Structure formats: structure tokens, C-alpha cells
Amino acid sequence: MADRFEHIGVIGSGLMGSGITEVCARAGLDVTVVEVDPAAAERGRARLEGSLATAVRRGKLPEEEAERALARVAYETDLGALADRQLVVEAITEDERAKVETFRTLDKVVAASDAIFASNTSSIPIMKLATVTSRPEQVVGLHFFNPVPVLRLVELVTSLMTSEETIARASDFATGTLDKRVIRSQDRAGFIVNALLIPYLLSSIRMLESGFATRDDIDAGMVEGCAHPMGPLALADLIGLDTMQAVAESLYDEFKEQLYAPPPLLLRMVEAGLLGRKSGRGFYEYAPKAAG
């Protein structure tokens, strides 16, 4: 068994997948990213290039290091490309069935008997993913936070089946290799952060929906009154309203408590494609990003 992970797989190259890819590549690791098709892979590469360029422009990363990091990343469209990976992090859409099928396939294609499978899920119980593999003791949750290159927190989530060896190796990877702060959570929907955060965000949507207060006053109240860096409605836009809905539904399914139920306004906005920053409109409107 290797003492240090050198060959990492990442499934998905959206905001979270690209962020995880970036921190791994900047830590000197060889990274293979798998996407659904060549167009998605190209978008993922462009997202990574843009993030690295921003770090260089802001003086956070020497240009030579950015070039070396980019050279460590390969993009593929077949999960079979992960056969030689020592640790694979799944970062696809927050859809339980899609994640379950991904883990089932991973179990078939990854050759190393001691490889660890991790999910970046923000709400789905790890046990549901672990039990579709032949190695449930090697499955964990590694929940990063957006933007991954900036925020140091990682939630390490273990199921009833996760071995102590896997816990130690995954924790060492996050802290020792990626320089992250790890907090441990039991395997409950939402884990620590979202179990606390999502009810707060949903309450702000209900407040707006009922006419209790305006969008701007709700957000200003929390920024100016509680010293939050961002108001709850602006934060919901940043997270993505579709992601918020998925997490809320997962929490409600598990706990059956009304504070986790997504309010009608959230459901209608997701149905309309008003997803927040990523769609250009949510509770706020956002100008399209300039090319390059």
C-alpha cells in the first residue's frame, strides 16, 4: 500500500470538480478527470485554465507553477481511464441514482485493491454509495467547499462500513497533501455544514415568499446585523438553487422535519431555470462573464 496518493481521479469538471482538480494538481499530483463527453471535458479544461490564470493575475501563484499544474491534468470521457487511480473523487450532479451508478462502475474499473472511493456529495448518505461496491470499507465522503482553492474546509464523512485505515488515509490526504482543515461528520444527510446552513437559507426564502421583508433587506440584515460576508439569498444564488433543492429534499427525506422542506418559491424558480449565478439569474441578476 502506498503511503501517499500520487494518482488521483476526479469525476466531473463543474465548479466543484474543477476546484478539486486544481488543488490536487497544485499539490503536485497526477490527475485524470472524466467527463460525460468531449464538449464537457473542454469546458472543464477552460474552467481550470481560467482559475489558474486568475490565481496568477492576483499574485497567488507563479505562472510557472500554474503551467506545471495544468500539465499534470488529463481529461477523458471513459471511466475506464481511472483504472490506475489510487483515489477517486466523484463530483457529479447531486443526484442519488447517478452517483450510485457511478460508484457501481468505479468498482468494476479501478484495479488497485486498496484504492479509496470518495464522494463530494453535500447531502447523500455515504452508505448508499458504499454498498453498491465490493469494498464499502474504502468509501468515504470528502465534501469540499466552493471555491475549493480558497476555502480550506473539508468534511470527512464515514459510513458504518468505513475502515479506520481508510479514515486515516483520507484524512492525511486532505490535511497533509492538500493543506485542508478536516472536520468529521457522521453519515447523516447534510452532514454538519448543510444540516445547519440549509434551514437558514430556506427560512430566508420563506421570508421573501411571504412578503415579510424584501430581498435586499433580508440580505442586508444578515450582512450588517450578523457580520455575515454575504446575505442568505445571495449565498443561495452562489450555491445554485437546483443544488439547494436537491440538498433540502435529501434532508427532508431523511429527517421528515418541515424546516428542511423546500418552499414553493424555490421549486418554481428551479423549474423556470432561475438557478442563480450559474444561469445568470436567481434572486439577483448577473451580468455574463467576459470571454477570457
- Span 92-116, pLDDT tens digits: 998 899 999 999 999 999 999 999 9
Does residue 265 sit in the same domain as residue 152? Answer: no
Residue 255 has what pLDDT? 93
pLDDT at position 289 over 80:
no
User: Are 95 and 231 within one domain?
Assistant: no
How far is Cα 202 from Cα 260, in angstroms, rounded to an integer? 7
Quick one: angle between helices 264-271 and 241-255, nearest 10?
140
Decide which of 185, 206, 226 is a domain's last residue.
Answer: 185
* 1 is a domain residue: no
Q: Does residue 64 sit in the same domain as residue 12?
A: yes
Q: How far out from the chain centre does Cα 253 lie?
A: 20
CB 143 within 8 A of CB 186: no
The tally of domains found in the chain comes to 2
Residue 232 lies in domain: 195-279
Report the chain's C-alpha Rg in angstroms: 19
pLDDT at 7: 98
Q: Does 2 map to a domain? A: no
In a domain, 289, yes or no: no
For residues 254 and 205, state if they share a domain: yes
Q: What is the pLDDT of residue 287?
A: 86
Q: Is residue 286 part of a domain?
A: no
- What average pLDDT does this structure show over 118-133? 94
> Residue 292 pLDDT > 90, yes or no?
no
Q: Does 288 map to a domain?
A: no
Look up the CATH number of the domain holding residue 209. 1.10.1040.10
- CATH assignment at residue 114: 3.40.50.720
Name the average pLDDT for the chain. 95
Produce one character per residue of 197-224: b if its CB has 16 or more CB atoms within 10 Å, e if not: bbbebbebbbbbeeeeeebeebbebbee
Q: What does pTM read for this prediction?
A: 0.88
The model's pLDDT over 152-179, given as tens digits with 9 standing for 90+, comes to: 999 999 999 999 999 999 999 999 999 9
**Which positions are catalytic?**
122, 143, 155, 194
- 290 falls in which pLDDT band (50, 70, 90)? very low
Which among 247, 245, 232 is positioned nearest to 274, based on CA atoms?
245
Give the count of beta carbons closer than 10 Å to the beta carbon of residue 50: 13
Tracing cell 488521483 back to the chain, one arrives at 8
Whether residue 142 is found in the same domain as residue 226: no
Q: Does residue 205 sit within a domain?
A: yes
Of the residues 132, 150, 185, the one at which a domain ends: 185
